Structure 1
Amino acid sequence: MSLKDLKIKTGVVKRLFKEEKSYHKEVSEQKKRIEKITIGGADKYDIAKQNEVLDESQQMIHEVKNRLREAHKVLQDLVNKQDPSWVGTEELKQAEDILKEVESEL
Structure 2
Amino acid sequence: MSLNTLKIKTGVVKRYFKEEKSYHKEVEDQEKRIEKLTAEGADPSVINKQKEVLEESQRIIPDVQSRLKGAYEELRNLVNQKNPSWTGTTELEDAENTLKDVGPEIGLQNN
TM-score (norm 2): 0.92
Residue 66 of structure 2 aligns to which amino acid in structure 1?
A: N
Residue 33 of structure 1 aligns to which amino acid in structure 2?
A: R
Q: 1:72-91 residue pairs with structure 2 within 5 A? A: 72-91=72-91
Match in the other structure for 2:102 = 102
Structure 1 ranges of 4+ moved more than 6 A: none
Q: 1:26-105 residue pairs with structure 2 within 5 A? A: 26-105=26-105
* Distance in 2 of aligned mates of 1:24 and 1:87: 36
**Equivalenced residues, count:** 106
What is the CA-CA distance between 1:82 and the residue it aligns to? Answer: 2.9
* Distance in 1 of aligned mates of 2:96 and 2:83: 14
What is the CA-CA distance between 1:62 and the residue it aligns to? Answer: 1.1
Percent identity between matched residues is 61
Match in the other structure for 1:4 = 4
* 5+ long unaligned stretches in structure 1: none
* 5+ long unaligned stretches in structure 2: 107-111
* Distance in 1 of aligned mates of 2:17 and 2:63: 12
Deviates more, 1:2-11 or 1:41-50: 41-50
CA RMSD in angstroms comes to 0.7
* Distance in 2 of aligned mates of 1:59 and 1:12: 21
Residue 77 of structure 2 aligns to which amino acid in structure 1?
A: D
* Distance in 1 of aligned mates of 2:60 and 2:94: 26
What is the CA-CA distance between 1:77 and the residue it aligns to? Answer: 0.5
